[in-house]
Amino acid sequence: MSTGTASSPSASTSKEFNPFEAMAERFNVAADHLGLDQGLRDVLRTPDRELTVAIPIKMDDGTMRVFTGYRVQHNFSRGPCKGGIRFAPDVNLDEVRALAAWMTWKCAVVDLPFGGGKGGVICNPAELSQGELERITRRYTSGILDILGPDRDVPAPDVNTNEQTMAWLMDTYSMHVRRTTTAVVTGKPIALGGSKGRTEATGRGVMITAREALKKLGMRQEGTTVVVQGSGNVGGIGARLMQAQGHRILSISDMFGAIHNENGLDMPDVLAYLKANKKLNGYPKAKAITPAQQLEIPCDVLVPAATENQITSANAAKVRAKVIVEGANGPTTAEADKILEKNGILVVPDILANAGGVTVSYFEWVQDRAGFFWTEEEVNTRLEQIMVDSFKSVDAMATQHKTSMRIGAYIVAVGRVAAVYKLRGTYA
Ligand code: NAD
């Protein structure tokens, strides 16, 4: 089994793979459809605030190291900023900026009263102890504390951060402000004010939007064939929920490779194997295939749920799915979009398809502020309603403007933020 990414975007510096360019290209098309003037375009593209902080840490061996952290608040006109914090060696300001803008549009597509933000720390968690990770999280939190708060900016987990990271962040913030403030962060453990249904929310949203896309195309739901790239929170849970709904999961992958069984994979069994063995490689009831082969499997629904820039100008023409439901953020480049559209493949865009996670984060924030917690059934019912309504608004907008669902989603989102700007006016 070969390793590596499906498309190996070696020219990661090229325009096609630059996340800010990818966001800006879609934004510009939506702005054209909306007839926005240049001034408003500039306002909406420019991050409201960017903070870079030094994070000096005493390492376990007694030496000092200084890490760098960022928090970008792209836009807070519709409410507090919302967006994850990632810990990774390749974090950079351009990427954080793009992801923050993506969050603005994502929150607006599902009509949450939030703006967009994103944070990151340049570090390699695989080389750090729990103690070092805790000290980084706490010092980073104190560095950005002045711009955080339930009414200002509410972070969440992202790549290599988790419930424990959010618990440390919540505790650090609470110690500074001298009161327990659970609503400063989402994705917390349930014992600290987390929401039921949060862990499954993004996968559930993917399942719901896939179902709506099949309905739109008049395709059957039972026996629908599905290929999933990535088997983590989004891909693994999404695949399990889709199988429970009657779909046939033909293939799933992780960063080490992909597995394939034309008769369908038993997802609970696959996920139990993954948990025990840490990789899918060697799963006995399927054959190993390469990441590139996986994306070329004929299927009804392809769910890229791993990482960005996986469907590119180099491989888009080989995709043989009828629908792509983007579980990951930015899995399809703008160049690839054009090829998919030409080939009649319906793409349910990331800012809609994976918005289930931020939607239940919003529910978590609401529950923390009210001090009143919902059952899992209430969470799932409200999530279902928001995802279905959002799918319909995006689809209607795409039809009205005779454009793709991606551009339809951007028109909905950019239009909502622009409308708020016009109503509020410019403070000077
Ligand atoms: P995760 O860390 O739980 O899982 C990622 C999975 O992708 C793992 O199975 C990993 O092995 C696999 N992977 C990584 N690189 C790969 C590659 N090149 N090819 C195939 N598989 C690869 O992460 P996650 O939370 O599932 O997030 C996945 C994507 O979804 C990211 O783009 C993330 O930003 C996005 N997303 C996540 C959420 C959420 O709530 N977790 C919400 C919205 C968007």
> Counting Cβ atoms within 10 Å, is residue 51 exposed (0-12), middle (13-18) or buried (19+)?
middle
Residue 329 CA: nearest ligand 1 atom is 32
Closest Cα to residue 78, out of 38, 50, 109, 119? 109
CA-proximal residue: ligand 1, atom 22 (nearest): 255
49-194 and 199-353 in the same fold: yes
Whole-angstrom Cα distance, residue 112 to residue 417?
11
CA-proximal residue: ligand 1, atom 15 (nearest): 255
pLDDT at 10: 43
pLDDT (average), residues 298-316: 96
The CATH architecture that domain 199-353 belongs to is 3-Layer(aba) Sandwich (3.40)
Q: Phi, psi (5° rounding) for residue 29?
A: -65, -45
* Ligand 1 touching residue 161 (CB < 6 A): no
Distance 200 CA to ligand 1 centre (A): 13
CA-proximal residue: ligand 1, atom 33 (nearest): 328
* 1 has a pLDDT exceeding 70: no
* Ligand 1 touching residue 252 (CB < 6 A): no
CA-proximal residue: ligand 1, atom 25 (nearest): 233
pLDDT at 3: 33
Identify the band that residue 337 occupies on the pLDDT scale cut at 50, 70 and 90: very high
Among residues of the chain, what percentage have pLDDT more than 70?
Answer: 97
pLDDT (average), residues 142-146: 98
* Ligand 1 touching residue 202 (CB < 6 A): yes
Q: Which pTM does this prediction carry?
A: 0.95
What are the tens digits of pLDDT across the range 245-301? 999 999 999 999 999 999 999 999 999 999 999 999 999 999 999 999 999 999 999
Angle CA(332)–CA(321)–CA(198) in degrees, nearest 5? 60
Q: How high is the mean pLDDT of the chain?
A: 95
pLDDT at 18: 87
CA-proximal residue: ligand 1, atom 31 (nearest): 328
Catalytic residue among 15, 58, 82, 118: 118
* Ligand 1 touching residue 294 (CB < 6 A): no
CA-proximal residue: ligand 1, atom 30 (nearest): 328
pLDDT (average), residues 313-322: 98
Distance 262 CA to ligand 1 centre (A): 24
Distance 212 CA to ligand 1 centre (A): 22
What are the tens digits of pLDDT across the range 12-25? 447 888 888 889 99
What are the tens digits of pLDDT across the range 150-165? 999 999 999 899 999 9
Would you list the domain boundaries of the chain?
Answer: 49-194, 199-353
CA-proximal residue: ligand 1, atom 1 (nearest): 232
Closest Cα to residue 225, out of 207, 249, 243, 244? 249
Distance 232 CA to ligand 1 centre (A): 6
What are the tens digits of pLDDT across the range 185-211? 999 999 999 999 999 999 999 999 999
First to last CA, the chain: 60
Whole-angstrom Cα distance, residue 165 to residue 138?
9
* 173 has a pLDDT exceeding 90: yes
Q: Using the Cα atoms of residue 214, residue 218, residue 220 and residue 225 in order, give the sign of their dihedral.
A: negative
Closest Cα to residue 77, out of 30, 29, 44? 44
* 6 has a pLDDT exceeding 80: no
What are the tens digits of pLDDT across the range 70-92? 999 999 999 999 999 999 999 99
* Ligand 1 touching residue 229 (CB < 6 A): yes
Distance 37 CA to ligand 1 centre (A): 37
Q: Is 118 a catalytic residue?
A: yes
Whole-angstrom Cα distance, residue 71 to residue 73?
7
* 5 has a pLDDT exceeding 90: no
Q: What would the two tokens of residue 66 be?
A: 């200084």
Task: Note whether 186 and 85 are within 8 A (CB).
Answer: no
HEC per residue, the chain: CCCCCCCCCCCCCCHHHCHHHHHHHHHHHHHHHHCCCHHHHHHHHCCCEEEEEEEEEECCCCCEEEEEEEEEEEECCCCCEEEEEEEECCCCHHHHHHHHHHHHHHHHHCCCCCEEEEEEEECCHHHCCHHHHHHHHHHHHHHHHHHCECCCEEEEECCCCCHHHHHHHHHHHHHHHCCCCHHHCCCCCHHHCCCCCHHHHHHHHHHHHHHHHHHHCCCCCCCCEEEEECCCHHHHHHHHHHHHCCCEEEEEEECCEEEECCCCCCHHHHHHHHHHHCCCCCCCCCEEECHHHHHCCCEEEEEECCCCCCECCCCHHHCCEEEEECCCCCCECHHHHHHHHHCCCEEECHHHHCCHHHHHHHHHHHHHHHCCCCCHHHHHHHHHHHHHHHHHHHHHHHHHCCCCHHHHHHHHHHHHHHHHHHHHCCCC
The CATH architecture that domain 49-194 belongs to is 3-Layer(aba) Sandwich (3.40)
pLDDT at 21: 87
* Ligand 1 touching residue 305 (CB < 6 A): yes
pLDDT at 20: 86
Closest Cα to residue 357, out of 99, 164, 150, 103? 103
Residue 308 CA: nearest ligand 1 atom is 32
Distance 305 CA to ligand 1 centre (A): 5
pLDDT at 7: 41
Closest Cα to residue 129, out of 57, 224, 60, 203? 60
Distance 54 CA to ligand 1 centre (A): 28
